[in-house]
Amino acid sequence: MIEINTNTMRFRDRRDAGRGLARALLGYADHQGVTVLGLPRGGVPVAYEVAKRLRVPLDVFLVRKLGVPGQEELAMGAIASGGIRVLNRDVIALAGLTDDIIDAVAAREERELERRERLYRGGRPPLPLAGRTIIIVDDGLATGASMRAAARAVRSQAPARTVVAVPTAPPDTCESLGREVDEVVCLLKPYRFRSVGVWYQDFSQTSDEEVQRLLQQASYSLDPESSPPGQGP
């Protein structure tokens, strides 16, 4: 596990965090068998910088947090592409949630997941994951529920190696994820974590339009001849 453990460093924004993360992942640069997956929306600007500097393909991987009704920021679990569902039984028990409530929240988030899948890909098929080293990137982790769902969904597609890479996360979240994937790369592991946004100077929301633009730019950079007029790699 690669880490820089400090409570004073902050990233300027997600692109800055991605450049720092790329430096920690340089061992994967120019490898034909590597693919970077960004978790939308905030993970895509970070993943874009990683893929750009490693000179490897970038794709999006859809995950949706399952928030506790009335306390949506509190994750009771997450769902991911491929029908994967991960639940936090401790949160569910504490909130007194029934299976019907969980299923209703999951059904709503599945509809949003499908909408974003169509929107972000623009008709492009998902990149193949089998037999490849997959680097899953987000802008940070709190409970890790969304990343855990993504990692399990990726592993179900038989990659050669699964790597989780994030700019910041609590130490215990990284430790638990480390038992589920081959490698965890985290630049900041503050013990007084509070929230992901605390470790950014600019943590403004990433738009759907920015996700689309970065994915298009990444695909063009691997095949410059396909760039539309006025847009280079």
Residue 28's pLDDT is what?
97
pTM over cut 0.85: no
pLDDT of 120 above 60 = yes
Residue 99 lies in a domain: no
pLDDT of 155 above 80 = yes
Residue 51 lies in a domain: yes
Its sign, for the CA torsion 2, 23, 27, 158, is positive
What phi and psi, each to the nearest 5 degrees, are found at residue 148?
-65, -40
pLDDT of 230 above 70 = no
Report which listed range, 45-49, 81-85, 195-199, is most confident: 45-49
Residue 45 lies in a domain: yes
Q: What would the pLDDT profile of 17-54 be if each residue is shown by its tens digit?
A: 999 999 999 999 999 999 999 999 999 999 999 999 99
Residue 77 lies in a domain: no
Residue 61's pLDDT is what?
93
Grade residue 79 by pLDDT with cuts at 50, 70 and 90: confident
In a 3-state reduction of DSSP, which class is residue 137? strand
Alpha-carbon distance of 74 to 66, in angstroms, equals 8
Residue 96 lies in a domain: no
Residue 123 lies in a domain: no
Average pLDDT over residues 79-94: 86
Task: Measure CA 84 to chain center.
Answer: 15
How many C-beta neighbours within 10 Å does residue 87 have? 18
CATH of the domain at 195: 3.40.50.2020
Residue 120 lies in a domain: no
Domain count, the chain: 1
Residue 104 lies in a domain: no
What is the residue range of 160's domain? 2-63+130-223
Alpha-carbon distance of 15 to 19, in angstroms, equals 6
Average pLDDT over residues 193-220: 92
